[in-house]
């Protein structure tokens, strides 16, 4: 798990579950690969890791990636970090998540918005700023009252990834117990909340593009200075 995935997972727990006790928390794509959200989840809850392969951190192995072996409305919180990009039909999995969440239940989604091609066993998708709102509308089209509480694109740290992060509540009428938002205290671009479609910290270009453009601009600006230094060195040599 890359550095910012852990950062945003921790921010989710602190923002939405600061006093969580005796909840059922389900992690989809839970295999511990260089870290797991289990290690930072609030204590005193029933944490269940599911994946389609066995491994460290996996409690339940899925035989069908689009069928979660849990009863309707039986789970309080569902997490999925760095997993949806590997789901060929993630929209089917999203509906399964809605099925098993309680009406007050939360779904935390973290998925790449950029980054290297990495099969596990396939790599199909990247998510852009309107992806969260699209998932909300997809759930409602299928009979749920799902509400996206917030979404944003995170900034890079020590790794190459920009994470797309979104939080959903199963029933929009149950949003009141969750008044706080991660994006109010995290660096981000293109943030949205349930209050409207206006974007906070709007950026037209992704961070990779902006970094490259900034690097080229700095090189361009430094050219006259380098040329002047070269000319001065030549002059000093000529007058020796």
User: pLDDT, tens digit, for every residue of 109-160?
Assistant: 999 999 899 988 899 999 999 999 999 999 999 999 999 999 999 999 888 8
Supply the mean pLDDT for the chain: 90
Q: How many CA atoms lie within 13 A of 63 on its CB side?
A: 2
Closest CA to 59 of 38, 83, 75: 38
Domain boundaries in the chain?
3-204, 205-240
Give the pLDDT confidence of 179-206 residue by residue, as tens digits.
999 999 999 999 999 988 899 999 999 8
User: CB count, 10 Å around CB of 109?
Assistant: 27
Q: Is 48 left (phi over 0), alpha (psi -120 to 50) or beta?
A: beta
- Classify 16 as helix, strand or coil: helix
Token digits for 92?
């089917």
SS3 183: helix
At 212, is the secondary structure helix, strand, or coil?
Answer: helix
The class that CATH gives domain 3-204 is alpha beta
pTM higher than the cut 0.95: no
If one counts every other C-beta atom within 10 angstroms of the C-beta of residue 143, the result is 9
Residue 173, pLDDT above cutoff 90: yes
């Amino acid at each position: 798990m890359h550095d910012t995935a852990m950062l945003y997972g921790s921010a989710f727990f602190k923002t939405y579950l600061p006093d969580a006790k005796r909840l059922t928390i389900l992690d989809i794509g839970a295999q511990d690969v260089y870290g797991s959200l289990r290690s930072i989840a609030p204590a005193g809850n029933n944490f269940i890791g599911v994946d389609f392969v066995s491994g460290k951190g996996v409690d339940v192995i899925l035989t069908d990636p689009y069928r979660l072996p849990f009863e309707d409305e039986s789970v309080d919180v569902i997490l999925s970090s760095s997993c949806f990009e590997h789901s060929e039909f993630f929209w089917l999995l999203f509906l399964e998540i809605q099925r098993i969440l309680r009406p007050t239940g939360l779904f935390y989604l973290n998925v790449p918005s950029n980054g290297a091609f990495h099969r596990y066993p396939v790599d199909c998708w990247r998510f852009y700023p309107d992806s969260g709102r699209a998932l909300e509308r997809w759930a409602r089209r299928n009979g749920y009252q799902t509400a996206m509480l917030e979404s944003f694109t995170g900034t890079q740290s020590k790794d190459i990834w920009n994470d797309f992060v979104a939080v959903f509540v199963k029933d929009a009428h149950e949003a009141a117990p969750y008044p706080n938002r991660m994006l109010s205290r995290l660096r981000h671009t293109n943030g949205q909340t349930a209050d409207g479609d206006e974007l906070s910290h709007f950026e037209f270009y992704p961070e990779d593009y902006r970094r490259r453009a900034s690097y080229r601009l700095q090189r361009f600006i430094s050219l006259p200075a380098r040329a002047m230094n070269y000319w001065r060195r030549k002059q000093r040599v000529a007058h020796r």
